[in-house]
Structure 1
Amino acid sequence: MESIVPDVTLWTDGGGRVRQTHLPVAGLFGSATRFAGMTARPYKGVSHADMAMEIVELNGSPGLVIGAAVRVLVRLALT
């Protein structure tokens, strides 16, 4: 938690296909709670043990891509 600034804002976009927050989530507690909820169960039928994470550059900013086999599950840009 120390690596996240207290005034963080989480924006999500499910592309119309997965659950998302419709408004930005402001603050460290709300953002951390949202992430904890996303990791509480398998995502799109893929267990966490089968997922891999890669640090990448997304739109000119650092980011993460989480995938399984040949499928991208999550793209996360850190701006």
Structure 2
Amino acid sequence: MATKWLAEEHFELKTYYPAVTKSRLQRQAFKNAFVMDLFSTCGPIYVSQNSSPPTHDLIELIKLCSGKVVSCA
């Protein structure tokens, strides 16, 4: 049974997604003040109840990335 998380930098796909390293470094530097803003300029986002991945997972991701979720299309 694992007792701690492994260092994530060893598993980053830097070749394909160089922004991953930048995001991790910003998150480490700013700690709790770090905010992901991927969806901040997208406008309201509707998530269907029939979505895949599950609706609640998508809503959580959108909100974590500064997006606004609406309940009707």
TM-score tier by shorter-chain length is under 0.3
- What is the TM-score when the length of structure 1 is the normalising length? 0.26
Asked which structure has the greater CA Rg, the reply is 2
Relative to its length, the structure with more strand (as a share) is: 1
- What is the TM-score when the length of structure 2 is the normalising length? 0.27
Relative to its length, the structure with more helix (as a share) is: 2
